[in-house]
Amino acid sequence: MIGIRFKIRYISDEIRMEMKRLFCLAFLVSIGLADGADIFDQPVLDQSFISPFNHGADINSAFPDVAQTFTAGMSGTLAAVSVDIAFIGYGSMPLEIQIRSVIAGTPTATVLGDIVLPTGTVTLSQQIWFPQVIPITAGSQYAIVAGYTGTAPPASQYVWYGAGGADYYPGGSEAYSFNGTTWVTSFPYDGHFQTFVVPVPESSATRLLLLLGLPALALTVKSQKFKRAGH
């Protein structure tokens, strides 16, 4: 019982601090000094395929562009992606990451956002942020396109790690291109990736109601925990 009561006191202190923070934030929102962006406008993980691993798609002079299509799970702004792409070789081979629209399961020539990264391996733990505002719609397909810029050095290439042999990610598929415009899907193969989306924001009034309601919810949770503890 001592251990349980200590844990409940610790949780209640944590909730008390959170209530104070939310009350202050709600007050600032109510007088126009804040808009609640710090808790409502942060990117959240939307789509993700990170395991298993049994496949690698080469990005080299023969296949200069490789893509992974995905289906957006929420509407909002695509802020960042992560991919599992390794650089193998020597010299300089900058990696370009694009977001493109998709028609009939393959990327189009319409580039919604792009960024060029220095030569090197890019892991799933790294979020690649786009300088452009990329609106996406839940249920629509988009493509993450990876390709190198310039001329590939001899014996150098990128490899996009992923998996195949089963439809591990039903919302899309790997695709490759010989020229950047004509694409061939590589079903049932997928490259590892994640997408991070800023959801469509609530109205200011809705945000204020949520902010005012969160402390009350926290207080209710706190009260229930103390009732169970016999206080």
pLDDT of res. 92: 87
Both 221 and 189 in a single domain?
no
Other CB atoms within a 10 A radius of the CB of residue 223 amount to 12
- Do 183 and 176 meet the contact criterion of CB atoms below 8 Å apart? yes
Residue pLDDT, tens place only, 166-202:
999 999 999 999 988 899 999 999 999 999 999 987 5
Number of separate domains in the chain: 2
pTM, entire model: 0.73
- Would you say residue 220 has pLDDT above 70? no
pLDDT digits (tens, 9 = 90+) for 97-154: 999 999 999 999 999 999 999 988 999 999 999 999 999 999 999 999 999 988 888 8
What CATH number does the domain containing 179 carry?
A: 2.60.120
Q: Are residues 109 and 209 in the same domain?
A: no
- Give the burial class of 4: count Cβ atoms within 10 A of its Cβ; 0-12 exposed, 13-18 middle, 19 or more buried: exposed
> Which residues form the domain of 159?
44-199
Distance CA 196, CA 78 (A): 6
Residue 224: is its pLDDT beyond 70? no
pLDDT confidence bin for 12, thresholds 50/70/90: low
Q: Do both 35 and 103 map to the same domain? A: no
Q: What is the pLDDT of residue 10?
A: 44
Quick one: 79 and 141 in the same domain? yes
Decide if 52 contacts 163 (C-beta within 8 A). yes
Residues 157 and 54 in one domain: yes
Same domain, 58 and 29: no
Q: Where are the alpha helices (DSSP H) in 41-95?
A: none
- Cβ atoms within 10 Å of 69's Cβ, excluding its own: 25
Please indicate, yes or no, whether residues 6 and 53 belong to a single structural domain of this protein: no
